[in-house]
Amino acid sequence: MSDIGDIRMQVMWNRLISVVEEQALTLLRTAFSTSVRESGDLSAGVFDPSGRMLAQAVTGTPGHVNTMAEAVLHFMSEIPRGEMFAGDTYVTNDPWKGTGHLHDITMVSPSFLDGELVAFFACTAHVVDVGGRGFGADGKSVYEEGIQIPIMKFAEKGKVNMDLVRLLRANVREPNQVVGDFYSLAACNEVGHRRLVDMMTEIGLSSLDDLGEFIFSRTRDAMKARIAAMPKGSWSNELTTDGYDKPVRLAATVSVRDDHVEVDFTGSDPMSRHGINCPIIYSKAYACYALKCVVAPDIPNNAASLAFFTVTSPVNILNAVRPAPVALRHIFGHMVPDLVLGALAKALPGKILAEGAGALWNIHISVKPVSGGAGRTAEVLMFNSGGMGARPGLDGLSATAFPSGVHTMPIEATEHTGPIVIWRKELRPGSGGDGEFRGGLGQVIEIAPMDGHEFDFSAMFDRVNHAPRGRSRRSASTTARRCAPRAGSTFRPDGGSSSNCRAAAAMAIRPGAAPRRGPRTVREATSRRTTDELHFLAPVGGQAVGLHGGVHGRQGAARQGYRRHRPRPRRAGLPDAAAYHRGRLSGRQIGTDPLHGLSRHARGARGCGLEVPA
């Protein structure tokens, strides 16, 4: 191809990326769930008629993008070409053919030009509810975790399947939000289709074959060169996490060959009877993401780049098979990058970031009026992040969602969703560990229902008993913490992936921090805390309101450093937080024993607390 031809193809490639970016922004702007419209928990992409991903939107998460790349092939095998029509949209939430759990909806739409199939558009998003036991680890099989939608048509020739819509409304707690998100997903693909047709008509293309070959050939050449420059061999790593009722061991061996990279999860613990198992499609997605961050972070993500990574595993907690419960598959799925990067750190010493908080600290809150009272009911989902691990030569980013890349939900948007009040959201000083380069800071968040309301909540977390490890001398950061579900006490549970409680007054969460790099003596604890405290604005008149920094990006970054206090009841002689808890969390105690493991139930009238890691 001539230089002019190459330039023309590159321009069309960039144009194609703009098409899928507009596709994703349509979903962001029309979604009903805050997890989508505020946090970007989604993916969008365009595929050739063979089901190979040509381009993905920058907006989105690696777990959604890389599972979507495989999911389209499942749709094509289930729906014959002769049953595909213009105006169709297909849907599923099958954990093994979609994105790993029932809360994620995947939609695929064929794109026709002059009667010929020229592409597929696909998108995914996390919806607020799918019925069943709710978002938690309590289910003993996938059948208890919510409604299952096999690969089927959401719309045929532009006509929506109203039987499916009625079925959804009858099985979820927030029917308007869920059904609204289904329509947003369909609109997302429709916008992608329209922009692609406009592009092809304007340029005079009848197919994407030549453009696809250009994209894949350039990507293959670049990937071959990067892998050839990598050291060859095999390296192993193990990671111990909190688990549900006992710690869980994750293991991986990374092998760099002449023309590809292999990851094998042999040695990981068996499947759990609780909903923390991870289907291989999701484990593979985050393993590939970790590899790509190291091998080729600047090469576009598409079918050709992903083809250089092979992920295998026997049946275990990272390769769970049906009908295993998988609702909280993200807990260990988000640990996979640390697991893989730990192995690569042995091949590339001094070039890999340290372990971080890993899994998101998700809280699902079910708010309702107190017994006999009037008010509003709502399902509220929050994404909270701890700190990233220290980087080579730099501190880790604070309160940043790595590896998921979702944005932190703004307080105002969360409060608008349901009758709750977020009294405090701030970075957690001193939580990044000691060392020349510390890990990113965790955060403290304090939440209460509005007057006349109470809530049940499911908190999903890890790194409570097993802190992230540093790369130098394997020094760890602080672990997560959570408050006891009674006034004025704090405890550390024996596990940490999920906890369900009933509460009427408040809770505080503290995601743990990430670990440091380098010798401890280079940057002592006193110096570290002083530096951390410079990130905060001083209180003014008893109320601190401030905004520090702005690490805010689409992929692998989140808003950080937001600190917000609201006036709360105070008692003389007590710290502010303690005064609030002791002054407000009156009523009967919610149990005398710590909440052990991922999901223990506690019931009571007035209070619940929770602290999370960075």
Residue 82, Cα to own-chain centre: how many angstroms? Answer: 36
- 232-236, 385-389, 436-440, 599-603: which has the highest mean pLDDT? 232-236
Do residues 328 and 334 make contact, with C-beta atoms less than 8 angstroms apart?
Answer: no
Residue 517: the pLDDT is: 54
Sequence-distant (≥ 6) Cβ neighbours of residue 463 within 8 angstroms: 241, 242, 357, 358, 359, 386, 479, 480, 496, 512, 613
For 100-109, 260-269, 395-404, 563-572, which range has the lowest pLDDT when averaged over its residues?
563-572
Q: What dihedral do alpha carbons 335, 337, 339, 342 form, nearest 10°? A: -140
pLDDT at 95 over 50: yes
Percent share of the chain, pLDDT over 90: 60
**Measured distance CA(237)–CA(235) in Å, rounded:** 7
pLDDT of residue 588: 23
pLDDT at residue 477 in the model? 54
3-state percent helix, strand, coil for the chain, nearest multiple of 5? 30, 25, 50
- Rounded to whole angstroms, how far apart are CA atoms 606 and 363? 18
Least confident of 145-159, 208-222, 361-375: 361-375
Residue 94: per-residue pLDDT: 98
pLDDT of 254 higher than 90: yes
Determine the pLDDT at residue 313. Answer: 98
Which DSSP category does 522 fall into? Answer: G
Which amino acid, 117? Answer: L
Confidence check: pLDDT of 594 > 60: no
Q: Rounded CA gap, 118 and 110, in Å? A: 8
- Burial class (CB within 10 angstroms; exposed 0-12, middle 13-18, buried 19+) of 421: middle
Scan for tokens 């999860």, then name that residue: 265
* 8 A C-beta contact, residue 301 and residue 292: yes
pLDDT band at 460; cut points 50, 70, 90: confident
Over range 505-530, report the average pLDDT.
51
Q: Residue type at 120? A: F
pTM of the model: 0.82
- Split at pLDDT 50, 70, 90, the class of 408 is confident
Mean pLDDT across 232-248: 94
Residue 70: the pLDDT is 96
Residues with Cβ < 8 Å from 20, sequence gap 6 or more?
44, 45, 46, 55, 56, 57, 121, 192
Q: What is the mean pLDDT of residues 499-516?
A: 53
In one-letter notation, the amino acid at residue 110 is: P
Q: Is 11 helix (H, G, I), strand (E, B) or coil?
A: helix
- 3-state SS of 7-69 is HHHHHHHHHHHHHHHHHHHHHHHHCCCHHHHCCCCEEEEEECCCCCEEEECCCCCHHHHHHHH
Gap between the Cα atoms of 444 and 92, Å rounded: 36
> pLDDT band at 409, cuts 50/70/90?
confident
Side chain identity at 210, as an amino acid letter? D
Rounded Cα distance between 609 and 614, Å, is 17
Q: Are 477 and 429 in contact (CB under 8 A)?
A: no
Closest CA to 311 of 281, 331, 341, 339: 281
46/190 Cα distance (integer angstroms): 12
Per-residue pLDDT at 606 exceeds 80 = no
Using left for φ > 0, alpha for ψ between -120 and 50, and beta otherwise, residue 306 falls in alpha
Interatomic CA distance for residues 46 and 191, integer angstroms: 12
Report whether the peptide linkage leading into residue 323 is cis, meaning its omega lies within 30 degrees of zero: yes
In angstroms, the first-to-last Cα distance of the chain is 51
Question: How far is Cα 322 from Cα 326, in angstroms, rounded to an integer?
Answer: 9
Chain mean pLDDT for the chain: 81
- Which residue is it, tokens 């609702």? 327
Q: 245 and 273 in contact (C-beta within 8 Å)?
A: no
| Full DSSP string of 202-256 | HHT-S-SHHHHHHHHHHHHHHHHHHHHTSPPEEEEEEEEE--SSS-EEEEEEEEE
Q: Distance (Å, rounded) from C-alpha 39 to C-alpha 307?
A: 29
Q: What number of CA atoms fall less than 13 Å from residue 225's CA on the CB side?
A: 8
pLDDT of 287 reads: 98
Per residue in 5-14, pLDDT (tens digit) is 889 999 999 9
pLDDT at 16 over 80: yes
pLDDT above 80 (res 170): yes
pLDDT tens digit string along 462-486?
888 888 888 875 455 555 554 433 3
pLDDT grade for 458, boundaries at 50, 70 and 90:
confident
